[in-house]
Amino acid sequence: MVRLDDPLERFLDLLVEAERAGIEDPNAMVVSSVSADGQPSSRVVLLKSADPRGFVFYTNLESRKGIEIQANPRVALNFHWRQLRRQVVILGVASPVDDAEADEYFASRPRGSQLGAWASRQSRPLENRAHLVAEVARLEAHYLGRPIPRPPHWSGFRVTPHWIEFWTAGAFRLHDRIAYRREGDRWLGVRLNP
């Protein structure tokens, strides 16, 4: 094993490169979690921040992913920027963000998204779309002229990584892969076969 550059800085550089390339939702990532019976599931969410403490996203805590992550906080994140021929895989442990951080982010969201967080019983059966639209209208009237507070069932997770792998497509499938593993307070990197 050899010590390489800081993988977080490398990730942030790639994220900026994806933004500059005009990729739609460059912060889109696949989050994979596992149910109590061992069934993996994946979905696309948006990364909201990344710093030395980890990678943050927000969700309904009563959704399938919210329930699964609270029961088993080991998750995988995957960023794939096809146009750049790049991918980043992150393995780590998710923990809840604190209430102040969740409140601050919720307050920054568009009002329609705030209403949607209250109206949607995410991952549960929906009788019909008209019911959801009516619930949004009811909540809009209820909060007319007032700030919308963060629902108690809506918050964020910070994924503290222990593995970050960078993949770059290569000719004839001879891809370039560098993986970083956290050991204490430092990262050790190794080049992997494609």
* Planar angle of CA 63, 65, 69, nearest 5 degrees: 120
Residue 142 lies in a domain: no
- Identify whether the C-beta of residue 159 lies closer than 8 Å to the C-beta of residue 94: yes
Q: What is the pLDDT of residues 142-187, one digit of tens each?
A: 999 999 999 999 999 999 999 999 999 988 888 999 999 999 989 9
Residue 124 lies in a domain: no
What gap in Å lies between CA 8 and CA 131, rounded to an integer? 43
pLDDT above 70: percentage of residues in the chain: 97
Residue 1: pLDDT over 80: no
Residue 131 lies in a domain: no
The pTM assigned to this predicted structure is 0.92
Residue 121 lies in a domain: no
Residue 159 lies in a domain: yes
Known catalytic residue at 186 = no
Annotated catalytic residue, options 20, 82, 146, 173: 173
Which residue segment(s) compose the domain that 168 sits in? 7-102+152-192
Domain count, the chain: 1
Q: What is the pLDDT of residues 54-65, one digit of tens each?
A: 999 999 999 999
- Phi–psi pair at 177, nearest 5 degrees: -130, 130
From the list 10, 106, 22, 14, the residue with the least C-alpha distance to 56 is 106
